[in-house]
Amino acid sequence: MRYLIREKLLCLGDDFRILDDSGRDAFLVDGRAFTLFREKLSFRDPKGNELAFLRERLLALRKSYEIHRGGRLAAVVRKDLFNLFRCHFTVDVPGPDDYDAQGSFLDHEYTFRRGGRVVARVSKQWFTVRDTYGVDIVDGEDDVLVLASAVVIDQLCHDTDGGKPAE
């Protein structure tokens, strides 16, 4: 399934609108759910039902986010500190079969792999609109988890501090 992720401009917090391949609203990520100490994002269906909750982890060695679904931890997304040649993220899910994301994150050109197999591609290639990119997900994968992970990676790579991209 192909999705279009578009960051909403002129809104309080980091909001994302996610459209399906026919242009209909599929999901909304509401960034207004934040606290003084850490960022929180609510991943919702078009009717407003919360499907996942994304929360910045405190007291971590590196900036990372937890993805919660149904009141349980579904994944932890973190940037690999020790990869010298390429930028790399791990989406650590309970049990085996973690996702790995690798590519050019600042350009929104990367892939998600699971067990060595490409399960999703993120690309800005087809879009000229600022803050818009596509996500192609292989059938049978967890669309909500992959899309939530892509939003987290966007947050980790594109949050700015004095105009500089986040590391």
Which residues lie below 8 Å from residue 144, measured CB to CB, with a gap of 6+? 27, 43, 51, 52, 69
Neighbours of 113 (CB within 10 A): 14
Beta bridge partners of 79: 89
Per-residue pLDDT, 142: 95
**Distance of alpha carbon 163 from alpha carbon 114, whole angstroms:** 34
Per-residue pLDDT, 129: 61
Per-residue pLDDT, 49: 95
- Reported confidence tier of residue 77, pLDDT bands at 50, 70, 90: very high
* Terminal-to-terminal C-alpha distance of the chain: 30
Q: Residue 140: what residue type?
A: G
Average pLDDT over residues 8-35: 76
Q: Which CATH number fits domain 2-161: 2.40.160.200, 3.30.70.2740, 3.40.50.720, 1.10.1040.10?
A: 2.40.160.200
83-104 per-position pLDDT tens digit:
555 678 999 999 888 999 998 8
- Reported confidence tier of residue 60, pLDDT bands at 50, 70, 90: low
Per-residue pLDDT, 161: 41
**Domain layout of the chain by residue ranges:** 2-161
Helix (H) / strand (E) element for 92: namely strand 88-92
- Reported confidence tier of residue 158, pLDDT bands at 50, 70, 90: low
Average pLDDT over residues 47-68: 86
**The whole model's pTM is what?**
0.85
**Distance of alpha carbon 35 from alpha carbon 78, whole angstroms:** 20
Q: Specify the length of the chain in residues.
A: 167
104-154 per-position pLDDT tens digit:
876 778 999 999 999 999 998 766 666 788 999 999 999 999 999 999 988
- Beta-sheet pairing, 40-44 with 132-137: unpaired
